């Protein structure tokens, strides 16, 4: 596995398999080279994250520094910060799509 494909805490991912397929989440923990813990702050809260195999995720280039810093400093992150990070990323994606469509 290439180092660039390694997941990092705070990285935004898109789920490809399972019940949450097509939804976005944030990596809040790395178990090993194969598994990560993800949460979205809504349905999947920080206190009840989902353990996912990274082959079932699209590792996106965006990393939320707020989430990563909060986890590094306190070991926790609020569900509001997770929702804000995801909303900001998805909103940015839709703006780029609109600009390309014009």
Domains of the chain, each with CATH number or no CATH:
3-101 (2.30.30.30)
Q: What is the mean pLDDT of residues 70-76?
A: 94
DSSP state of 19: T
Look at residue 64 in the predicted model and tell me its pLDDT: 94
Q: What whole-number distance in Å separates Cα of residue 38 and Cα of residue 6?
A: 15
Cβ atoms of residues 25 and 40 within 8 Å: yes
Q: How far is CA 8 from the centre of its chain?
A: 9
- 49-66, pLDDT tens digit by residue? 999 999 999 999 999 999
How confident is the prediction for the chain on average, in pLDDT? Answer: 91
Residue written as token pair 């590792």: 59
Residue 2 above 60 pLDDT? Answer: no
Confidence of residue 4 (pLDDT cuts 50, 70, 90): low
> In which band, very low, low, confident or very high, does the pLDDT at 3 lie, cut at 50, 70 and 90?
very low
Q: Is pLDDT of 18 > 80?
A: yes
pLDDT > 70 fraction of the chain, expressed in percent and rounded: 95
């Amino acid at each position: 596995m290439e180092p660039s494909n390694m997941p990092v805490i705070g990285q935004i991912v898109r789920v490809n398999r399972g019940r949450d397929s097509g939804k976005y989440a944030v990596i809040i923990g790395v178990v090993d080279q194969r598994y990560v813990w993800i949460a979205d702050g809504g349905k999947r809260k920080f206190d009840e994250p989902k353990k996912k195999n990274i082959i079932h995720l699209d590792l996106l280039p965006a990393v939320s520094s707020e989430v990563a810093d909060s986890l590094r400093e306190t070991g926790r992150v609020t569900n509001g910060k997770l929702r804000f990070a995801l909303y900001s990323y998805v909103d940015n994606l839709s703006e780029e799509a609109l600009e390309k469509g014009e």
